[in-house]
Chain A
């Protein structure tokens, strides 16, 4: 899986140039081209024409500044400042530009310091067919996540989408120091199994984790397997325990995982997680 072209979508709330710069290690994974994008939402009564003009001008000035820095480093760069429905606009730019990765942010609730994944982001995550990084650069007062790809944690549910997440991470092997691989056995999956059945399930999952880590090590990636029991909040716990810098997962179309990641419980998880989340469809 190649990562040559990245679409960086910013509303100038969460993601600024320092957040973009934190992703520049992707150059070692083949990144050549950054497409900057800002969408001025078209909402009736939301912005006046004059406000929209000012927002676009502000975005243009920022993007020129950012582009200059990227050009000076020998990267290719383009920009879009558009007006309309955010999801539709992002989808159309993905198609037009043929990007390999989209970077978006969480939204900040007005008046509160809490963050949340808004409905637009969730709609986009449901529709997109390319990997998306929900970047979380500012992780707390005075703390930033400036090396998100250094120690990722891969949460696998053994789906084809999880395999694609593995492929994506393999492309980052020149950047990462160590990969933590976890599988969470859900209480639903354990229901009705006796003690022996549980042991068999545990053994089977440990075997698969071991095989996956062996194959990653064959690719030159130091990988460590972990088995957890519970729900997806265990992913966050594992990430904290293992000092991960990013959580990567496949977004399975019909499984409970997508519902959890992209529905309301996952929304909560993504909201409270301090880590960038890489979602691979």
Chain B
């Protein structure tokens, strides 16, 4: 069974998205910040990550960059699901790209909260097959 890691500090979101993931026939795993998220990615190698941005300890922005600059993990697809505007995410990536002298690829999809369940399910199916 394919595994989907949901990284979000909002329990309401992780509960709802976990249900959508499981209803779609995948296994849901949860982490509540970027630090926990990276630990889970390394331990469980998920097939897809649904990632929030504004979280305690480590944001989704930092986790996304860690993931996309880690050779064995960089091909794991990511859907960003966040209240942070898509525009801000891409601007932050641009600044960080310039600072690090290294650009990271765009996520597979970016959904601004509140999510439409159908949209998320469709995206997961499209990415995971």
A contact set with B: CB distance below 8 Å: 35, 60, 63-64, 67-69, 71-74, 76-80, 96-97
User: Which interface residue of B54, B56, B83, B91 has the most chain A CB atoms within 10 A?
Assistant: B54
How many residue pairs, one in A and one in B, have C-beta atoms under 8 Å apart? 51
B84 interface residue, CB < 8 Å from A?
Answer: yes
Chain B residues within an 8 Å CB radius of A67: 53-54, 84
B5 CB, min distance to chain A CBs, angstroms: 19
Chain B residues within an 8 Å CB radius of A68: 84-85, 88
What number of B residues sit within 8 Å (CB to CB) of A? 20
Chain B residues within an 8 Å CB radius of A74: 92, 95-96, 99
A109 CB, min distance to chain B CBs, angstroms: 32
A72 to B99 Cα, complex, angstroms: 13
Chain A residues within an 8 Å CB radius of B89: 71
Knowing A72-B95, A74-B96, A76-B62 touch, does A64 contact B56 (C-beta < 8 A)?
Answer: no
Complex: chain A residue closest to B10, CB-CB: A60
A73 to B94 Cα, complex, angstroms: 10
Main secondary structure of the interface of B (DSSP, over half): loop
A97 to B55 Cα, complex, angstroms: 12
List the 4 closest pairs (A to B, CB-CB), nearest first.
A74-B95, A68-B88, A71-B92, A72-B91
A68 to B62 Cα, complex, angstroms: 14
B58 interface residue, CB < 8 Å from A?
Answer: yes
A63 to B83 Cα, complex, angstroms: 11
A20 to B92 Cα, complex, angstroms: 18
New A-B pairs, 11, CB < 8 Å, besides A72-B91, A78-B59: A67-B54, A68-B85, A69-B88, A71-B61, A74-B95, A76-B59, A77-B54, A78-B56, A79-B54, A79-B56, A97-B57
A265 to B21 Cα, complex, angstroms: 60
Residue interface bits B27-65, CB-to-A below 8 A is 1, else 0? 000000100000000000000000001111111011000
Chain A residues within an 8 Å CB radius of B55: 78
- Say yes or no: B54 contacts A63, CB within 8 Å: yes
A268 to B88 Cα, complex, angstroms: 43
A97 to B35 Cα, complex, angstroms: 11
- Say yes or no: A64 contacts B99, CB within 8 Å: no
A79 to B53 Cα, complex, angstroms: 11
B94 CB, min distance to chain A CBs, angstroms: 9
A79 to B57 Cα, complex, angstroms: 9
Chain A residues within an 8 Å CB radius of B53: 67, 71
- Say yes or no: B54 contacts A78, CB within 8 Å: yes
- Say yes or no: B54 contacts A64, CB within 8 Å: yes
Chain A residues within an 8 Å CB radius of B85: 68
Knowing A71-B59, A78-B55 touch, does A64 contact B92 (C-beta < 8 A)?
Answer: no
B12 CB, min distance to chain A CBs, angstroms: 12
